[in-house]
Chains A and B, each alone.
Chain A
């Protein structure tokens, strides 16, 4: 399929379980992803939801090949990247961006905001693309001179977003990127991402615990549980006709902003 940007088949990830490692010999393997399969159509937004520890971040990091699968197959734009070397991945990096769950730990504390955004562009902090990216995420241009520790949590998160969009990538993996933002800033960021998807044909994988945001942004949603896909549905279907008990449980746990509604 020409309009498929990612093809994922029977993807598995396991890690050595160091807590059960015998004194001599190899540690037993701990399965984190137990064979997941799905395709992502170009220019769409796929949501990934699921409980804490279900494997969302691991799946995301595997898609962008920060983690190497232990089995299965991963195609990006028709190219098999399942076991691609770091050197070969580097050629693809500008097209594949990610924005992480933990903004502080993904920013270099010794780089100013301007240099953080400019570095992957191979440009200087004064590059006009830096200013444009800051503006798009709603930060003043003067923030280019600040260091990460001089920012609030939400401001750091927006620097991560600015760095990713400045590259004009084909694909962005966004892991829990709006959960630290107030609703107004969330709305701004979502509008920006929607615009990039519509105008530039960006493809987005959006990991979030916030089902209101998922409903607003995604066309399709995958529900993960213990490293397996339990539901894969068009967004409207998922919300109106959730098939799996776990999906219903997730929907019921959302706090409705009204003190008179019991929870």
Chain B
């Protein structure tokens, strides 16, 4: 089955150094399904999201591979066309809620601008849609909040603003980069249920970056485990929790804390597992011959 989002053999490296950041990544995401993306800090989870949204930092170049969005290879269309395609079909819930918002502008226009600029909506329609999505993410007093500046909101409120903003245009794909890390568990639960509902209702494909396996077990259908830019396991959530295959996945699951069981508390992934995964990556790099014809 071909997904709404198909990433095939995507490799990226740091310009100038040749250091590989993504290593032949394959990810398939059918419309209406949710894929979790987990892995160590620095493994390249956000890079994958940024590559899909066309917002990679300048220092990172794509060496080879395809990113098919609704069957169109984003890497083969001209930049202006690519921006339009992405703007109409996909949205990002970014990882850093404070820096993602412009500190000197009120919340309201930050939500409505995208609707007006990219989708060409009337201002009034955009404003009423903004109110609607703020209510959906349980922002109290939404009219008032629209008139506030980002620094007047708590971390969790800023994160909900970004979630609301991503859903406002009803995109077909949402890349959510740790969308609930700044939320308390009750709000997290409510927001995740809401994201699942919206996602199911609109048939949105969701790529869900998180380090919380508890969250993965509740909202995802499939899962990619990333280590040093390489997908070391691509599996269903059921299979992952029943029997993770890769040693790094096994260690990750074992290291996950359970508040109900303080004895089995947080522990680091064993050094032997890390060494083995690094060796695997090194062997991979040694065998790798870039195909050429790439672009960023």
Residue of B with least CB distance to A186: B266
Chain A 33-53, CB within 8 Å of chain B: the 1/0 string? Answer: 000000000000000011111
Q: Are B189 and A255 in contact (CB under 8 A)?
A: yes
B237 at the binding interface (Cβ < 8 Å): yes
List residues of B (161-195) whose CB comes within 8 Å of A's CBs. 178, 181-189
Contact of A190 among B95, B241, B258, B266 (CB under 8 A): B266
Contacting B at CB under 8 A, from A46-87, are 49-54, 57
Q: How many pairs, one residue from A and one from B, have CB atoms within 8 Å of each other in the complex?
A: 164
A184→B59 contact, CB < 8 A: no
Q: Does B57 have its Cβ within 8 Å of any Cβ on chain A? A: yes
Q: Which of A182, A251, A253 has the most chain B CB within a 10 Å cutoff?
A: A182
Query: Does B88 have its Cβ within 8 Å of any Cβ on chain A?
Result: no
Query: With A180-B178, A211-B259 in contact, do A256 and B269 touch (Cβ < 8 Å)?
Result: no
Closest-by-CB residue of B relative to A154 is B41
> Cβ of B266 and Cβ of A250 under 8 Å apart?
no
Q: How far in angstroms is the closest Cβ of chain B from A89? A: 21
Interface readout for A197-211 with B: 1 if CB under 8 Å, 0 if not?
000000000000101
A180 and B99 in contact (CB under 8 A), knowing A19-B147, A150-B59?
no
Contact among A182, A186, A215, A251 for B39, CB-based, below 8 A: A182
Contact call B40/A104, Cβ cutoff below 8 A? no
The reply on A155 being an interface residue by CB < 8 A is yes
- Contact check, A239 vs B259: say whether CB atoms are below 8 A apart: yes
Find A187's partner among B156, B189, B241, B266 (CB 8 Å cutoff). B266
CA distance A151 to B185 in the complex (A): 27
Say whether A52 contacts B218, CB under 8 Å: no
Comparing B73-81, B114-122, B123-131, B209-217, the segment that makes contact with chain A is B209-217
Residues of A within 8 A of B183 (CB): 52, 209
A55–B168 CA distance with the chains assembled, in angstroms: 28
Q: Is B2 on the interface with A (CB-CB < 8 A)?
A: no
Which residues of B in the span 218-266 have a Cβ within 8 Å of any Cβ on A? 218, 237-238, 241, 251-253, 255-260, 262, 265-266
Does A185 touch B at the CB level, under 8 Å?
yes
Q: Is B267 an interface residue (CB 8 A)?
A: yes
CA distance A181 to B181 in the complex (A): 9
Contact A51 B184, beta carbon cutoff 8 Å: yes
- A251-B259 contact in complex given A102-B155, A153-B96, A184-B40, C-beta closer than 8 Å: yes
In the complex, the answer to whether A257 meets B214 with C-beta atoms within 8 Å is yes
Do residues A181 and B258 form an inter-chain contact, with CB atoms below 8 A? no
Tell me, yes or no, whether B201 is within 8 Å of chain A by CB: no
Q: A19-B147, A187-B255 are in contact. Are A152 and B42 (CB under 8 A)?
A: yes
B contact residues around A158 at 8 Å (CB)? 41
Tell me which residues from 220 to 263 in chain A have a Cβ below 8 Å from any Cβ of chain B: 239, 249-251, 253-259, 261, 263
The one of B41, B218, B258 in contact with A185, judged by C-beta atoms closer than 8 angstroms, is: B41
Please, which residue of chain A has its CB at the minimum distance from the CB of B248? A184
Q: How far is the CB of B161 from chain A (nearest CB, A)?
A: 12
Tell me the chain A residues, 175-197 only, with Cβ under 8 Å from chain B.
Answer: 176, 179-188, 190-191
Known: A52-B155, A155-B42, A258-B241. 10 other contacts (CB 8 A): A104-B98, A155-B41, A176-B182, A182-B38, A185-B41, A209-B183, A209-B185, A209-B188, A250-B186, A258-B217
